[in-house]
Structure 1
Amino acid sequence: MESQNHQQLQVFIQSPTLQIPKFAVTLNPNQTWGDLKNSLTSLNSSSFLSYNGKIVDESSTIGCSTITPFSTLNLHIRVNGGGGDGGATGAESRDCYLNMYAEKKPDKVDPNEKRLSKWSTCALSFEPLKPPCVIDYLGNVFNKEALVKALLAKSLPKPFSLYIKGLKDLIPVHLSQEHGSSKFECPISGFEFNGKYKFYALKKCGHVFSGKALKEVKSSACFVCHKEFEEDDKIVINGSDDEVEILRGKMIKLKENEREKKGVSGKIKKAKYKQENNAGDNCDVQLSGKKHGIDDVNTKAEANAKVTNSVVDVAAAPKRFKAVDVAPPNANKQVYASLFTSSKKKSDFKETYSCRSLPLGRN
């Protein structure tokens, strides 16, 4: 190496990018590789030298480098991308890129990026979280606008549509934003809403706090609105698989209790309705209106009188004529009845090809 420091070094330079053929250059050992590059091209910031596929350190001196004499170096020019190649449309979310990268190199996915994407974007649209926000009973966070649009269009994905039927299955939440920033934080502890810390939403008021704030400040009332809450009112946000299963069990139990309450209230309403209207075997039903054949009924007596008269009229009506009742003693009743069109069932008639109003056997 000492001999290189006292001798001049000769190397070959070529540039496939600039289509420059290989040529020899004699170098001063005290120069740097950056000085050599600057002497070859005026594009200092967008050019670099490489040796054996590796970029040469421009700050190192030529005499102290491991490049041997008569070696070949390549001069490259960096070309700035102008877009328009179809690689990105601007509509992709961070989550899409993470999934694509995970398929190609599953061992290279940054877990911090995946966690941050889950806590900073809507669970439905994957757009950045923007108030007003809501959560479901399993701790997923949504932009309210995106969720309402999906409910109206009936395009909610199956995992969510199984238990989200409307806004009654969601809880509006109040996320505290950092001062002068779009990021969210705990209003008590100041912890960032980024997945590094556990966060809870209070079901009764919707305020969101870090788990540490709820643990250290012993209180049964909300720190912001001072509304009382119980332990079951806390919903963990973006919890683990075990925590989500616990929340799922609570949600199922809550829905079952609501169904039971609705069933009991329905029975009470029916019983009250029957009691008020004297529903039973001995009650008198008062009919009114043209639908029941009574034009003007003002009292129950008039209604009962009309019903009684109709029963008498039916009893006094003559018996309907049947041909088989007057058949001769030796005649076959079925054959005798066939002589009269009134004895044939309507289902036995068949329509003719030319006219439906002239069934066979009637002319």
Structure 2
Amino acid sequence: MKSETQIHQIFVRFADPQIPTRSVIFRNPSPNFTIQHLKSSLFPEAPVPEESLFFTLNGKPLSDATPLFPNPRVAPLSTLTANFRLCGGGGDGGATGAESRDCYLNMYAVKKPDKADPNELRLSKWVNCSLSNEPLRHPVVIDKLGNLFNKEALVQGLLTKTLPKEFGYIKGLKDMIAVELVQIPGVKGGDGAVKFQCPISGLEFNGNYKFFAITSCGHVLSAKSFKEVKSSACLVCHKEFTEDDKIIINGSEDEVTALWEKLKEEKAKKDSGKKSKKAGHANEVKPVQSAENGKKHRLELVKGDVNGPGKKFKAAEAMPANATKAVYESIFTSSKKSNFKETYSCRSLPLGRN
């Protein structure tokens, strides 16, 4: 008597809807039949790499070693879903295999700083204080390199000695130049800060145009005003000025370099003037008292060393012959300390001293 044939049928559905569902029938299946054998039976002519195809049942993955018969999980007429893995290689959204999970975590963990808008940075230099970054408000000053400051903030920085190194050349009020900025009537920025303009041409003080400050009077005018109206006097207050009295505000790198060289030259001249003045004091003619043959003292001219002060006069060096040193020195100074009190006209002697 022939044994009864066992038939086990399952369905294989593909995740790709373009591939139709297949029905797989097994007759007298072997207990050693696994998912790996199922893969080979589905694609006998072109075997699919093991790592590129996997099966799931009710959303749960099945390993290649999972047996199909007998398996209570894979009942007859069960539907297995075949899923294809996309192999990376670049451009397809997959991984190349060179990256690790930590690479992606680190990439998103460190937030990249937002790039500053160059237009906003440029405008900020013209409407804000270079030190406090607060909106400009009167009184406003500039330094000799054309940087704008609120005077209150700059003075506070000098008093507290908190000026940054970049402004180390500002030592005091003499390094500040007070300027007059003309406000645009009724116009304010989004933060409530006032806006300024050229009083002659009406150009806005926003960095789109060149502006100069006249150090002799403090008025700020656009380069266009100086170009259109040729004058050696300020166009606002009519005070005379020279080209050296003009300082460009927020100039280019080359223009700031030229101002810096000019500042160093001024400092060098000032330092050389101080040295020559000190040398003049050292070579100053000094009177030296001396006596000769009991006559009146004469003046001797003694020049000091260039590298040091002049020789100090000592009475004993000019002492006449046969004179007592202590007595001779007492003529010029009080050579002995005593408890005697001196009046405004002469030294008093106690009674009986003679």
Greater share of residues in helix? 1
The structure with the larger Rg is: 2
Greater share of residues in strand? 2
Please report the TM-score for the alignment, with normalisation by the length of structure 1.
0.48
Please report the TM-score for the alignment, with normalisation by the length of structure 2.
0.49
